[in-house]
């Protein structure tokens, strides 16, 4: 993101870079450790309706992909700051719910994430993010996804 654009949005450059780095790199690492701990505690399955033990990793991957892709799109001016922040925050909250094995809550939170993404203009970014979230819904065993 250019210095001019940051000044236009009244966001200090340093603050933006810190938030982008935290979202793109720190959050997935923290979530990864949390998810690994839960996976060790209950090997084999995440939610009762999951069939494969590697689904947990796929769920994590889909949610971190939403965060990463949103941050990249923000830098490329494909998405505004407000929606980018809402989508990234909701994806992060979903990952935390997954780490706590809150399967019922996770499905509702993923549905809210779909709602946030559906507000975006039609196009490649919207379709890509929806694809990740629908995949996460499938891995979490949420009905009506996809």
Per-residue H/E/C for 11-35 = CCHHHHHHHHHHHHHHHHHHHHHHH
Indicate whether 107 belongs to any domain: yes
pLDDT confidence of residue 103? 75
Classify residue 146: in a domain, yes or no: no
State residue 140 phi and psi, 5-degree precision.
Answer: -80, -10
Residue 44 lies in a domain: yes
Query: What's the structural domain count of the chain?
Result: 1
The Cα–Cα gap between 138 and 89 comes to 21
> Is 94 among the domain residues?
yes
What's the N-to-C CA distance of the chain in angstroms?
Answer: 33
The reply to whether 116 falls in a domain is yes
Low-confidence residues of the chain, pLDDT below 70? 1, 6, 16, 18-19, 21-57, 143-146
pLDDT for 128: 95
Q: What is the pLDDT of residue 88?
A: 93
Residue 145 domain flag: no
> Could you tell me if residue 36 is inside a domain?
yes
Nearest to 5 by CA among 73, 72, 80: 80
Structural domain including 18 reads 3-140
Asked if 116 contacts 86 with a C-beta cutoff of 8 angstroms, the reply is yes
């Amino acid at each position: 993101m250019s210095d001019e654009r940051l000044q236009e949005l009244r966001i200090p450059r340093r603050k933006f870079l810190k938030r982008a780095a935290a979202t793109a790199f720190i959050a997935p690492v923290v979530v990864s450790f949390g998810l690994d701990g839960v996976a060790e505690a209950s090997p084999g399955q995440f939610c009762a309706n999951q069939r494969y033990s590697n689904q947990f990793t796929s769920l994590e991957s889909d949610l971190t992909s939403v965060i990463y892709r949103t941050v990249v799109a923000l830098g490329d001016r494909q998405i505004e700051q407000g929606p980018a922040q809402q989508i990234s925050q909701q994806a992060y909250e979903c990952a935390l719910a997954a780490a706590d094995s809150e399967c019922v809550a996770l499905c509702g939170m993923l549905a809210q994430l779909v709602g946030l993404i559906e507000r975006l203009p039609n196009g490649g970014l919207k379709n890509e993010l929806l694809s990740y979230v629908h995949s996460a819904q499938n891995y979490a065993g949420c009905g009506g996804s996809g």
